[in-house]
Structure 1
Amino acid sequence: MTATPGTPSTRSYPHQPSTVRGRGGSAALRDTLTLMSLPVLAALALPAAFAGGGTRRWFGGRAEGQRAEAQAAKDAAAAAFYELDTAQRDLRISVETITAVDDSPAARRAVADFEALGLRIDEVSQRYIQAVDAHDLDRDDLEAATAARARGELTAAKDELLRVRQELDRFGSSLGPLLGKAETQLARLAPAVERARQALLGASNALDAVRQTGLAAEDLAARLAALSPELTKLNQGAGQHGLPQTLERAERVQREAAAIRAEAERLPEKAAEIDHRLVSLRTRAQALTTRAGQVDPVLSELRRRFAAACWQDLQQVPAQAAQNVGQAELKLREAQAARDAQRWADATSLLSTVRALLNTTDEAVSAAGDRLTRLNAVQKDPQQETERTRFAIRDAQRLAMTGRTTPDPRHARPLDDAVARLERAVGTLEGRHPDYWHFLTETEAVRQTVARVVAQIREERGGPGR
C-alpha cells in the first residue's frame, strides 16, 4: 500500500490480493475499482482456505486442531487485509476528489494526514505478509506448536490491521465537510460546461440567421471565433485545467456568448435604426439650412430698431450656422459610408456628432428669433417685466418673515440687494436708446437670486410646504 494520492502503484503479496490504485474522482470510478478487485481477492486473498483437496495426508489429534485454528486465523487476517486495502483505495479517491478542487490549508493537511496513514498501513501490511510467509499451514508434518505459533502471529497481524482500519475510518469521517464541498463543486461543473456549450450554439445560430438577412456581422463573428480555444479547454476538462478555473471559464464563455447572441439578434433592428437616423438628420440639416437663411433679416431688424448691445453677440450666427450645417452634412456622408460597410460603431459615433452640430446650430438660429420676440415685448410694455420681478421679490420677503418678527440677515440681505438691482435695471430704460437686452438679463438674474433665497428658506424649515 502507498499513501501518496494520485501515484499509481501495484503490489502483489503471497496469498493476498493484488491492489492496483489509479487516480479517480467519482463514485463511478470507486465502484469500478471495487468490482475489479473482487475476482483478484477470490483468486489470491484466500487460497489457503480451500487448498489441499485430496493431496495432503491428514493426521488426527491436537496437531490438526491447531492447524484448523491457524488456518482460520489466516483467513480472518486475509479478510482484514482486503477490507483495509479496499478502504484505503476508496479513501484515496475521496482525497483526490478534494485536492482536485480545493487548495486550502485544510485540504493540504488532509493530504499530509493521508500520507502518514499510508505509511502506517504499509507497516502493518508488511508484518501481515511476513506472518503469512513464515508459516506453511499445508505441510504434512506441521507440528501443533508451530501451528499455534502461526495462529498467534496471524491473529496479532489481523488485530493490527483492524486497528489501522479504525484509524482510517475515523480519518475518513473527518473528511466529510471537505468532501461535501468538493462534491458540490464537482456537481456544478457539468451543468456549467453544458450551459456554456448551449450559449455558444445559440450565438452561432443567431449569427447564421443575421447573415441570411444580408448583414455580415464580421465583428460578432470574430468575437465568436475567439471563444473557440476556450471551448477546447472546456472539453479538455477540469482534470487538466483545474475545477475553479474550468468553472470560471464556463461562466465567462456563457456570458460572452450570450452577449454575442443578443447583439446578433438586435443587429437588424440596429441597422434599421441607423437608417432612420440618417434620413431624419439629413432632413433636419436641410431644414436648418433654410432657417439659417432667415437669420439675416432678423438681425437687420434688430440693428434698425435696437441699440448695438442688444444684437452684437448674434452677428456671427449666420456664418456659424452655415459652417455647422456644412460640417454636419459631411459627417452624414461619412456615416452613410460606415453604415454601408456595416461598421455600426463608427456609424453610430458619426451620427452622434451630426446631432450635436445640428443642436448647436438650432439653438443659435432660434436665439436670434427669440431675441427679437423678447425685445419687441419689453419695448412695448417694460412694466410687465418689472412687475413680474417685483412680485417674485415680495413673495420671497413674505416667506422670509413667516413666523418671525425680524428677517434672518442671511435672507434679508440678498433680497434687499435684489430690490436695489431691479431699480437700477429700470433706470437703464430712460434715455433715447434704452438697452432693453441689458434690462431683460438683469431682471432674469434678479429672479434667479430670489429663487435661490426661497429654496434656502424652505430647506432650513424642513420642506416646501412651510
Structure 2
Amino acid sequence: MTATPAQAYSSPSVSYARVLRDTLTLVGLPLVAALVLPAAFAGGGTRRWFGGRAESQRAEAQAAKDAAAAAFYELDTAQRDLRISVETITAVDDSPAARRAVADFAALGQRIDEVSRQYIAAVDAHDLDRDDLEAAAASRARTELSRAKDELEAVKRELDRFGEGLGPLLGKAETQLARVAPAVERARQALLAATGALDAVRQSGLKADDLAARLAALSPELTRLNQGAGQHGVAPTLERAERVAREAEAVRAQAERLPERAAEIDHRLVSLRTRAQALTTRAGQVEPVLSELRRRFTAACWQDLQRVPEHADDNVRQAELKLREAQGARDAQRWADATALLSTVRALLNSTDEAVSAAGDRLRRLNAVQKDPQQEIERTRFAIRDAQRLAMTGRTTPDPRHARPLDEAVARLDRAVASLEGGRHPDFWHFLTETEAVRQSVARVVAQIREERGHHAG
C-alpha cells in the first residue's frame, strides 16, 4: 500500500509560534482591552503558554510523529523501488524462483498495508495542535506513534532483506533487458542492408522476386519490434529480433551472390550439355564391349549389363530435356528452379556414366582374372592370414566369435577357387564377386577385434 497520512504532521514550533503571535497581539491592544483580556484567560484548567509538563509531552509526541512519518515515507519509497525491480524480473523471467519472488513481494505488500494503516490510524487519533492537549493524551500519542514507527522500521528491514535476495534474479533480468535495444537495432540494420542489396541487384537487371517476397514478409515483424518489449515481452522480442536479423542477413547474402549464381548456372548449363554429348558417344561404345563379353565369357558374366545401352540412351534423352527446362528457368530468372533442374541432370548423367563405365570395367577385370586368377587368390588369402594373426595376438586359442567367420572365409575361398577348375568356361565373374565378399567379411572381423581391444585398453 502506498499512502500518505490523513493529516499532515507539524513541528513543535507551530504551537510556540501560535503562543508568540497571541502575545504580540496583546501588546498592541488598547489599555482597556489589555486590562480586560487577561481576565478572560484566567481560571483553573487553562493551558499554560510556556513550559510545563503538557508542553514537554506535546514536544515528545510531535517528535515521535515526525519520526514515524519519516519511517513511513522511507518504507513507501523502498516499496516503490522494489516494485520496479520485481516488475523488471517478471517482464523477463517466468522461472519458479521468479514466481516465488512475486509471491513473497505480494505477502510483504500485505504486511506493509497493515502497518501503514496502523500508522495512519495513530496519526488520525491524536491532534497534537489542540490548545487543550493534556499531558496524558500527549503521552499516549507518543507511545502509539513510537510503536507505529517501530513497526514501520521492522517491515522496512524485512523489505531490505527481500531486496538483497533479489540480486541474482534482478541482475539476470537487467542483463536480458540490456540486450533488447542492441538486438532490435541489429535487426533494423540487417533489414536496411538487405534492402540495399536487393535494390543493387535489381538495378543490374536481375530479378529477385523471391528475395523481395521474403523481405516483405519481415515487415510485420519489424512493426512488432518497434512496438517494443513492453508490449510483446522481453524474451519474445529478443527471439524476434534475432530471427529478423538472421532472415534479413540471409536475404542480403543471397542478393549479393545472385550475379555470381547466375554466372554459375550459365557455366553449369554449358558443362552439363557438353557432358551429355560426350556420354552419348560413350554409350555408343558399350555395345562392342558387350559383344566381346558375350563371345568370350559365360552369360553370368555379362547378363546384368545387357540393358546398359538402352538405359544410357534413355538417361541422356531425359538429361537433355531437363537441360532445356533449366535453360528456360534461367532465362526467366527462376534461379531455384534452374538449380534444381540442373541437379536432376547431373544425377542422370552420373548414373549413365557409372553404367557405361561398368561395362568397360567388367571386361577389364574379367580379362585380368582369366589371364592370372592366382593374383586374386593370393590377395584374398593374404587378407585372411592377416586377420588370423590379429585374432591370435595375445591369445593361445582364438575367440570363437572371430575364428568361426574366418574359417568360413577360408572355406568360401576354397570353393571359389574350385569353381575355376571345372568346365571349359568358368564363371569368372562369380569368382570375383566371391573373393570380394570374402575380403569384406574378413574386414568386418578385423574391425570387430580392434574395436573390442580398443574398449579393453580404454
Range into which the TM-score falls when normalised by the shorter chain? 0.7 to 0.9
Code of the residue aligned with 2:209 in structure 1: it is: E
Q: Which deviates further from its counterpart, 392-401 or 155-164?
A: 392-401
Alignment-derived partner of residue 158 in structure 2: 167
Aligned residues of 2:118 and 2:148 also touching (Cα < 8 A) = yes
Cα distance in structure 1, aligned partners of 2:6 and 2:307? 108
In structure 2, the residue corresponding to 1:57 is in which secondary structure?
A: helix
Residue pair 1:422, 1:442 contacting (<8 A) in 2 also:
no
1:223 to 214, 222, 225: 214
Contact 1:15 1:47 in 2 (8 A): no
2:139 paired with 1:116:
no
Per-residue CA deviation, residues 223-251 of structure 1 (Å, 9 max, x unaligned), is 22222222222222222222222222223
Cα distance in 1 for partners of 2:129, 2:438 equals 118
- Pairwise CA distance, 1:369: 4.6
Q: How far did residue 84 of structure 1 move?
A: 1.7
Which position in structure 2 is the counterpart of 1:61? Answer: 51
Pair 345,148 (structure 1): closer, same or farther in 2 beyond 3 Å: same
Mapped partners of 1:353, 1:248: distance in 2: 37
Say whether residues 1:255 and 2:242 are aligned partners.
Answer: no
Aligned residue among 418, 429, 440 for 2:413? 418
SS of alignment partner, residue 372 of structure 2: helix
Most deviating of 323-332 and 69-78: 69-78
Matches within 5 A, 1:65-464: 65-296=56-287, 314-370=305-361, 377=367, 382=370, 384-396=371-383, 399=386, 410-428=405-423, 430=424, 434=425, 438-439=427-428, 441-452=429-440, 454-455=442-443, 458-459=446-447, 462=450
Q: Which whole-Å CA distance do the structure 2 matches of 1:226 and 1:96 have between them?
A: 33
> Take 2:387 and 2:133, find their aligned partners in 1: how far apart are those partners?
122
1:298–1:15 Cα change, 3 Å: same
Q: Distance in 2 between matches of 1:56 and 1:138?
A: 15
Name the count of aligned residue pairs.
Answer: 415
Offset of residue 310 of structure 1: 6.3
334-343 vs 248-257, which deviates more?
A: 248-257
Distance 1:50 1:15 in 2: 17
Task: Tell me the distance in 2 between the aligned counterparts of 1:130 and 1:401.
Answer: 99
Percent identity at matched positions? 69
Q: What is the distance in 2 between the residues matched to 1:156 and 1:406?
A: 94
Aligned mate of 2:6, from 7, 14, 39: 14
- Unaligned stretches of 5+ in structure 2? 24-48, 452-458
Secondary structure at the aligned position of 2:50 is classed as coil
Range with bigger deviation, 79-88 or 169-178: 169-178
Counterpart-to-counterpart distance in 1, 2:75 and 2:448: 82
Q: Please state whether the residue corresponding to 1:215 is helix, strand or coil.
A: coil
In 2, Cα distance between the equivalents of 1:80 and 1:254?
50
Q: Which residue of 2 aligns with 1:32?
A: none
Unaligned runs of 5+ in 1: 3-10, 17-45
Cα RMSD (Å): 3.5
TM-score for both structures, normalised by structure 1: 0.76
- Stretch deviating more after TM superposition (345-354 or 123-132): 123-132
* Greater shift in the superposed pair: 242-251 or 329-338: 242-251
Contact kept in structure 1, 2:183 and 2:242, CA below 8 Å: yes
- Residue identity matched to 2:118: R
Partner of 1:31: none
Counterpart secondary structure, 2:207: coil
Q: Once the 2 structures are TM-superposed, how far is the Cα of residue 305 of structure 1 from its aligned partner? A: 7.0
Q: State the distance in 2 between where 1:392 and 1:329 align.
A: 43
Deviations 1:74-116 (A, max 9, x none): 2222222221221221122222222222333433333333333
How far apart in 1 are the matches of 2:361 and 2:129?
A: 122
Letter aligned with residue 61 of structure 1: G
- Give 3-state SS (helix, strand or coil) of 2:156's partner: helix
State how far apart, in whole Å, the 1-side matches of 2:55 and 2:397 are: 126
How many angstroms apart in 1 are the aligned matches of 2:99 and 2:448? 63
Shift of 1:350: 1.1
Q: CA deviation at 1:278?
A: 0.7
- Please tell me the residue identity of whatever aligns with 2:184: V
- Out of 77-86 and 305-314, give the one that drifted further: 305-314
* 2:414 alignment partner AA: V
TM-score relative to the length of structure 2: 0.77
**Cα distance in 2 for residues equivalent to 1:94 and 1:163:** 21
Is the 2:405–2:442 contact (alpha carbons within 8 Å) kept by the matching residues of 1?
no
- Secondary structure, aligned partner of 2:6: coil
Report if the CA contact (8 A) 2:405-2:445 is conserved.
Answer: no
Residue identity in the other structure for 1:425:
L
Shift of 1:406: 11
Question: Residues 299 and 311 of structure 1 are in contact (CA less than 8 Å); yes or no, is this contact kept in structure 2?
Answer: yes
Matched residue of 1:14: which SS?
coil
Stretch deviating more after TM superposition (401-410 or 239-248): 401-410
Is the Cα–Cα contact under 8 Å of residues 409 and 442 in structure 2 kept in the other structure? no
